[in-house]
Amino acid sequence: MTGPTLRWRVLVVLSLAAVLPTVVVGSLAISRARHDVEDEVKRGALAHIRALGQALDGTLQDARRTVELAAGQWADAPGDNRGTQLLLRRLRRDVPIVQSLSIVDPNGALLFGDPVPGVDVGSHSFGGYIGDAMFSGPRPTVHLVVQARGRTGELMGVVVASLDLGFVREILMSARLGPGARLLVVDGSGVPVATSDLLPTSPTSLAGKDPAVDRALASTVEGTLSANGTVSAYRNLSSYQSLRGVRWAILHQQPEAEAYALARTTTRDTLVIGAVALALALALGAFFATRLTRPLAALAHRADAIAAGQIVDAPPVRGPGEIGTLAHSVDEMAKRIAERAELSAALARGDRLASVGVMSAQVAHEINNPLTTVLGYAKLLLEDKPDGHPDRAALELIAEEAERMKKIIGGLLEYARAPRPSEPMLGSAAGTAMPAMVVRHVGELVAPQLRRARARLVTDVTATAPIAIEAHALQQVLVNLVQNAAQAGCTAITVTAAPAPGGVATIIKVADDGPGIAAADRTRVFDPFYTTKAPGTGTGLGLAVCKHLVATAGGSIDVGDNPNGRGAEFRVVIPNAA
């Protein structure tokens, strides 16, 4: 359960780490793109209607200035009828948008030109102006009223020009517009003067119906408005200096769906890219979560096994960084636990063996006396029986077996005996031994046995320092090791004694060319009653006694392969005497 849970948690964390930034950054990008596009659309629309407004203004002002010049010219000579007629003809010809022309006196009475119904053109007209659009004909018109003042500034009359507003629509129609967009010019009452689309211009006011028109008429300059799914940019034409008095407004309107199509496309692309990025991030997250948690799961498995006391022989867990360190630590911990378990088992075994030893020593002691009696009587009976006597073979067998039993009992007693100081021997001080002397003496002791076994003993002693072990004990150890080698059928036995590196101990090695000791047996050959010899040929106590003696002296003994060829090598390390 730990593995999947951990993996899912890591996956969730990685997913959140991928989802949150993607969502946040994506939202910001979409919002920013939308905002930028909206700004650009509005800026573009405003720039468009500014240019168109200037074009309208230019046309109207050209007409106004021309009429003003003409009015001034007429006012300087108002009585020149012929000149006035000529002037009016020229005005109609030179100003194409002029539909009709009139000149009235300051009281509003018609002097020249066409009748001007319904326009306040008298002295109360409050100066010249461009009025609101009129829709009496097929095309909207507007009245341009210009006061005709003489040289002294005195009002001589008023020139009224009816301007054909068809040019407004022509200007609007000539504009290049985006999809669904339209241009609209309304007069001060909100009545459309012209539109860029093909809808017929009607005198119906849009005031109160189109929020953009209301806003345009209320504004003094320009602005934008989004309402009813339409984005509108407007400019009040009164903001043009030369159009003072004109209450018109120009609007650019476009459905939001069309105006912000780019934003929608950008949003869609951003969403797709974001979704792909998110999917990739999640896939990578799942991959890395699995990869990250796999060694952790293995470690958890291993920890569970260790906790259950199982021996873990699986290969070590590998992982990057902290996971690798953790795996290493778990392995170390497992190794330590195994060592401790082994140590505990060894201790338990040692206690058991010690008890057995004590009991064996007591048994051996009790058996030794009756066995001596058995052996003595067997030998006495043998002396009474002549050669060839039918009982002699059985008595000899009793004596041999009794002798062998005594050897075993002797060994047991030796193993169980507490260390005891012995008399100095071989020129050594009490509690110490000179390796060279001990080795030479051992050679003399085992020489007959080696001859029988046709084995050769080579000694090489370079160590000169006395070592901290009883000479008898060292002698017993070496004799045991050499005899074991001889009994194993070895033909070449080497005993060397050399100072250990650092000079604090002496290493004595006993090597042979025998069959050697299997790796599995090397840790057990020093256990009591463990033997690799044929049944009845060994007691299993020799090496145990050797280890006991060496350990008692503070040294160590182990066995390995002979580095110089086949066979085994026993390595005894004894501290040098102080």
Partner 1 sequence: MRPALAFATMLAACGNAPTAAPAPIHFLHTFAPAETELVNKAIADRGLAVEASLVPFARGQQVIREILRAHHACPDLIRIDATWLPGLVADDLLAPLPPALATLDWSPEAAQLATYRDQLWGAPQTVDGLVVVRDAGTPSPASPAIADLVAAAKAQTAAFAHPLGLRVDAYWLVPWLRAEGAELAPDRIAGGGAARGLADFAALFGQLAAAPPPLGSEAPDELRRWTEHELAYWVTGPWQLGNLAGRDAIAVSALAHAPRGGQLLVVPRCAERPDDGWRLAAELTSIDVELIFSDAFAAVPTRRAALAHATPLALAIGAALANAEMLPRSPITPLLFDDLNPALAAVVAGDATADEAIDGVRRGWARLSGSAP
Coil vs helix vs strand at 253: strand
Give me 64's structure tokens. Answer: 């106004």
Main-chain dihedrals φ then ψ at residue 152, nearest 5 degrees: -90, 0
Q: Which is nearer to partner 1, 111 or 286 (CB)?
A: 111
3-state helix, strand, coil in the chain (%, to 5): 50, 20, 30
DSSP 9-73: HHHHHHHHHHHHHHHHHHHHHHHHHHHHHHHHHHHHHHHHHHHHHHHHHHHHHHHHHHHHHHHHH
Q: Which of 241, 70, 230 is nearest to 160 (CA)?
A: 70
User: What is the nearest approach in angstroms of partner 1 to the Cβ of residue 118?
Assistant: 11
Q: Which is nearer to partner 1, 208 or 501 (CB)?
A: 208
- Total of residues contacting partner 1 (CB under 8 A): 37
Q: Which of 401, 358, 380, 299 is nearest to 528 (CA)?
A: 358
User: What is the nearest approach in angstroms of partner 1 to the Cβ of residue 130?
Assistant: 9
- Taking CB under 8 A as the binding criterion, the range among 237-245, 308-316, 415-423, 483-491 that sits at the site for partner 1 is 237-245
118 contacts partner 1 (rule: CB under 8 A): no
- Taking CB under 8 A as the binding criterion, the range among 84-92, 232-240, 324-332, 457-465 that sits at the site for partner 1 is 232-240
Q: Which of 367, 394, 396, 391 is nearest to 379 (CA)?
A: 396
309 contacts partner 1 (rule: CB under 8 A): no
d(Cα 47, Cα 59) in Å, to the nearest integer? 19
Here the contacts of 416-419 (C-beta below 8 Å, separation 24 or greater) are: 416/357, 416/358, 416/360, 416/361, 416/364, 417/361, 419/552
Find residue 100's DSSP bridge partners.
162
CA–CA distances in Å: residue 91 to residues 87, 163, 442, 506: 6, 12, 152, 137
- Taking CB under 8 A as the binding criterion, the range among 236-244, 301-309, 342-350, 541-549 that sits at the site for partner 1 is 236-244
> Binding partner 1 by CB under 8 A: which of 219, 368, 449, 556?
219
126 contacts partner 1 (rule: CB under 8 A): yes
Q: Which is nearer to partner 1, 214 or 256 (CB)?
A: 214
Query: What is the per-residue binding string for partner 1 in 136-175, x denoting contact by CB under 8 A?
Result: -----------x-xxxxxxx--------------------
Q: Which is nearer to partner 1, 216 or 463 (CB)?
A: 216
> Binding partner 1 by CB under 8 A: which of 27, 123, 204, 422?
123
Residues 247-306 within binding reach of partner 1 (CB under 8 A):
247
Residues 10-69 within binding reach of partner 1 (CB under 8 A):
none
241 contacts partner 1 (rule: CB under 8 A): yes
User: What is the nearest approach in angstroms of partner 1 to the Cβ of residue 157?
Assistant: 12
Q: Which is nearer to partner 1, 44 or 211 (CB)?
A: 211
| Cα angle for residues 27, 29, 35 (degrees, 5° grid) | 100
User: What is the nearest approach in angstroms of partner 1 to the Cβ of residue 190?
Assistant: 9
User: What is the nearest approach in angstroms of partner 1 to the Cβ of residue 98?
Assistant: 21
Strand residues in 487-555 grouped as ranges (E): 492-499, 505-512
Residues 87-106 within binding reach of partner 1 (CB under 8 A):
106
User: What is the nearest approach in angstroms of partner 1 to the Cβ of residue 81?
Assistant: 22
User: What is the nearest approach in angstroms of partner 1 to the Cβ of residue 158?
Assistant: 11
User: What is the nearest approach in angstroms of partner 1 to the Cβ of residue 238?
Assistant: 4
| Crossing angle of helices 166-174 and 2-76, rounded to 10° | 150
- Taking CB under 8 A as the binding criterion, the range among 40-48, 119-127, 400-408, 476-484 that sits at the site for partner 1 is 119-127
Q: Which is nearer to partner 1, 126 or 529 (CB)?
A: 126
User: What is the nearest approach in angstroms of partner 1 to the Cβ of residue 40?
Assistant: 24
d(Cα 381, Cα 400) in Å, to the nearest integer? 14
User: What is the nearest approach in angstroms of partner 1 to the Cβ of residue 171?
Assistant: 22
> Binding partner 1 by CB under 8 A: which of 1, 109, 198, 221?
221
d(Cα 67, Cα 337) in Å, to the nearest integer? 113
Residues 179-218 within binding reach of partner 1 (CB under 8 A):
188-189, 205, 207-208, 214, 217-218
User: What is the nearest approach in angstroms of partner 1 to the Cβ of residue 104?
Assistant: 13
d(Cα 41, Cα 497) in Å, to the nearest integer? 102
> Binding partner 1 by CB under 8 A: which of 4, 127, 138, 554?
127
DSSP annotation of 239: G
220 contacts partner 1 (rule: CB under 8 A): yes
Main-chain dihedrals φ then ψ at residue 88, nearest 5 degrees: -65, -40
For the chain, give the longest Cα–Cα distance: 196
Q: Are strands 492-499 and 456-461 parallel, antiparallel or unpaired?
A: parallel
Q: Which is nearer to partner 1, 78 or 575 (CB)?
A: 78
Q: Which is nearer to partner 1, 246 or 450 (CB)?
A: 246
Q: Are strands 505-512 and 492-499 parallel, antiparallel or unpaired?
A: antiparallel
User: What is the nearest approach in angstroms of partner 1 to the Cβ of residue 242?
Assistant: 7
d(Cα 526, Cα 353) in Å, to the nearest integer? 12
User: What is the nearest approach in angstroms of partner 1 to the Cβ of residue 231?
Assistant: 20
Count of CB atoms situated within 10 Å of the CB of 503: 10
> Binding partner 1 by CB under 8 A: which of 99, 238, 483, 562?
238
Q: Which residues bind partner 1 (CB under 8 A)?
A: 106-107, 120, 123-127, 129, 147, 149-155, 188-189, 205, 207-208, 214, 217-221, 236, 238-239, 241-242, 244-247
